[in-house]
Amino acid sequence: MQHTRLCWRCMTNGFLCSVCGQIHPPAPTSYSIKAPDAFIAIPDEERATRAQISAEQCILDERQFFLRGRIVLPILDQQNQPAPELLDPRSGPAPEIRIEAPYFAYGCWVEVSPKNFFRTHELWKTPGREDEPPFPGYLANELHHYPRTLGLEVLVATQPVGRRPHLTVLDQTHPLAQEQMTGLSTERIQQIAEQILHHPEPR
Ligand SMILES: [Zn+2]
């Protein structure tokens, strides 16, 4: 997981929680939801007949089609900070290693049209698939620490083989879209961790 590499600076610290006053382990920089909310809402005994689900794709009642994707948000105040394994002064960073700016990610599901679902499926292992034009989708999970996110319109950008599609929230008045544009501070990442720890999302 990217998390270990990106959070090296806070790995020894943890953070002081403003809700309970305890020190918690370092605030995660990624969260993921394993299924669309519509799948989770189906009673266990009906899932086998109504749903097909894998780690990346889901079909409900043969009429709703979902892909797993990522909402990626830049982290504001650690930008371009290299990971410790790249800091050895004897060797210097290997030129082929690309140092990426740290980011925060929500792994979540997006509902897409049957056409885009099957196109994505068809290109699943095709090199160069990231050249496909982005296509529309609707968030299929509620992120409870934001105003309503279920049904929020996003643009789905296909990534190179092996990577989940990136989702860009289109409604620029929504706080999640604004954070996607402006980035998250360390304080905001801790606040998200506090909200999730102390107000677990109903399931
Ligand atoms: Zn706490």
DSSP strand pairing (30-32 vs 103-112): parallel
pLDDT for 12: 53
Residue 137 forms part of a structural domain = yes
96 Cα–ligand 1 center, Å? 41
Q: How far is CA 196 from the centre of its chain?
A: 15
Residue 203 forms part of a structural domain = no
104 Cα–ligand 1 center, Å? 20
Nearest-5° Cα angle at 75, 33 to 136? 50
The tally of domains found in the chain comes to: 1
Residue 180 forms part of a structural domain = yes
The count of other CB atoms within 10 Å of the CB of residue 117 is: 20
Whether 54 contacts 34, CB under 8 Å: no
pLDDT for 98: 43
**Quick one: DSSP state of residue 127?**
T
200 Cα–ligand 1 center, Å? 12
22 Cα–ligand 1 center, Å? 6
38-47 pLDDT, tens digit each: 999 999 999 9
Residue 153 forms part of a structural domain = yes
- This prediction has a pTM of 0.80
197 Cα–ligand 1 center, Å? 7
Residues lower than pLDDT 50 in the chain: 1-11, 79-99, 203
Residue 38 forms part of a structural domain = yes
pLDDT for 201: 60
Residue 173 forms part of a structural domain = yes
b/e sequence 33-71, b meaning 16+ C-beta within 10 Å: bebbbbbeebeeeeeeeebebeeebbbbeeebbbbbbbb
Residue 99 forms part of a structural domain = yes
33 Cα–ligand 1 center, Å? 22
Expressed as residue numbers, the domain containing 194 is 2-198
Residue 168 forms part of a structural domain = yes
Rounded Cα–Cα distance for residues 3 and 165 (Å): 18
pLDDT for 99: 47
Rounded Cα–Cα distance for residues 151 and 36 (Å): 11
196 Cα–ligand 1 center, Å? 10
Rounded Cα–Cα distance for residues 37 and 47 (Å): 13
191 Cα–ligand 1 center, Å? 10
Hey, what are 170's tokens?
């289109």
